[in-house]
Chain A
Amino acid sequence: MRFVVVAVALDSGGATTTEPWIRAAKPSYPCLIDERHVVAELYGMVNVPSAVWIDEAGRIVRPTETAGASDAFRWHLDRTTKQMSAEGLADRRRTRGAYLDALHDWAVKGPASAFVLSEDQARRHLPRPRQEHALAAANFRLGQYLHAGGHRKAATRYLAEARRLHPESWSYRRQTWELEEPGRAGGPEFWAAVDALGERPYYPPAKIAPGH
C-alpha cells in the first residue's frame, strides 16, 4: 500500500508557530509549512482541516472537503471552560471516524473504493474560484509581505480587504486576525462570526456516502 499523508500548515508564523505542534505530533509523514497559504489558493481551501485525495498518477479523486471535523464545537463546547460535553465528544468521534473509515477504504482498495469519485463527480465537487477570490489572494499576499517587512499598519488595510473579498475563507479571516493581534483568531470576533452562520455549517460535512 503506497499511501502517504502530506500535512500542510497554512500558517504565516512559519516554523516558529508550527514547530511545537509538529514536534508534539511525532509525525511519520512530511509536514510542510505554507506561510503564504499557497495550497489553499491552488486547491480552493477555505478552512482547516481540509483535505484532497490524490491518486498515484497525481489525479484528484476527491477534491477539497472538510477532513473529518465537525461543528460539535459550536453547540457542545463550554466557551468559558473549553470543555466539550459528552454529546459533543461523541459527535466529533462519529464524524472523524466515518471520514477516517472512508480514507482507510481508499488507501486499501484504491480505485475500487466506493469513496473514489468519477471524473464527472469530482468536477462537480470542485471549488470554483472567482475573480474576487483571486483579488483576495493578491491582497493577502501584499498584506503578509508588508507585515513581515515590519509595515504592520500599512498591512492591515490589505489583510482586511482579503477578508472582505473572500468572506467564506475562515483561513484568511483567522490568519489575518492572528497576524494583527495574537489570540484574536479564537477571540470574541471569531465566536460572533461563527454564531452569525446560523443554520449554515462552519465545517460543511464531507459527502462520504459511497459514490457521492
Chain B
Amino acid sequence: MPTTILYKEQPPYLADATPEGGDLWLPVTDLPAATGWELRSEGVCRGDVCMPVPRERESEYVRDGRARFNVGALARSLDQPVVHDDVLGVWVFGEAARARREALESLRAPDFTLPDPGGRPHALADFRGHKVFLVSWASW
C-alpha cells in the first residue's frame, strides 16, 4: 500500500511498502531516497557506515530475493523510535535517544539548517568563527 515515510531528516517519501505489525517492508530501490540507507553486499550502509545484516537473521531484514528491506527491523537494531498510523499509512522513524546523548556529550554543537521568514536557509555551521548565542522563542 502507498506509505509515507518520515525518516529522521529525510524529506517525506511515498513508497509502495508493506506494513506488517512493527515491520515495514520497502522495495530496496526506494531505500536510499526514503531513508538514506542502501543495501550493499557488505550490509546496509549510510555514507561510510555499514551494518552487516546478521546471516542467521537475514530473513528479518530482507526477503523476495533481497528485493524488499525491512526498515522496522533496522530501526529496532538502532533503538530508533518508530510511530505509525496504519489508517493513513504514515510511518515516522526518529533518532535514538542514545545518538542524541552521544552527540551532546561530544560538546560539538549539533548542526541544523532552518529558513528565515523569507525562506532563505541558514545552517548553524555558517556562523563558525563567531560566538553564537542560540536562543529559542515561540509565539504560543
Binding site for B on A (CB under 8 A): 2-11, 13, 15, 17-19, 21-22, 30-34, 38-45, 48-60, 63, 67, 103, 106-107, 110, 119, 122-123, 126-131, 133-135, 137-139, 141-142, 145-146, 151, 154, 158, 161, 171, 174-175, 177-178, 185-186
Contact = CB atoms under 8 A, between A and B. Distances in A.
Contacts of A13: 139-140
Interface of B: 4, 6, 9, 12, 79-85, 87-88, 90, 92-97, 100-101, 103-105, 107-110, 112, 114-117, 119, 122, 124-125, 127-140
B6 A8 contact: no
A161 B85 CA distance: 13
Contacts of A145: 4, 6, 12, 90, 92
A49 B135 contact: yes
B107 A146 contact: no
A22 B116 CA distance: 10
A197 B86 CA distance: 37
Chain B contact residues: over half helix, strand or loop, or mixed?
mixed
B15 to A, nearest CB: 16
B107 A59 contact: yes
Given A48-B137, A51-B133, A103-B133, 4 more contacts: A38-B114, A56-B130, A59-B107, A131-B96
A48 B138 CA distance: 7
Given A4-B132, A51-B135, A57-B128, A131 B81 contact: yes
22 contacts: A2-B129, A2-B130, A3-B131, A4-B133, A5-B135, A6-B124, A34-B136, A39-B114, A40-B136, A44-B100, A45-B136, A49-B136, A52-B134, A53-B133, A123-B105, A134-B97, A135-B94, A138-B92, A145-B12, A145-B90, A158-B83, A185-B140
Contacts of B130: 2-4, 56
Contact of A11 (B83, B103, B119, B139): B139
Contacts of A53: 131-134
A42 B111 CA distance: 9
A126 B108 CA distance: 12
A48 B128 contact: no
B83 A34 contact: no
Contacts of B122: 6, 30, 32
Contacts of B132: 4-6, 53-54
Contacts of A142: 6, 83-85, 90, 92
Contact of A5 (B88, B95, B133): B133
Nearest to B99: A134
B131 A11 contact: no
A1 B39 CA distance: 48
Contacts of B128: 56-58
B85 A134 contact: no
A50 B131 contact: no
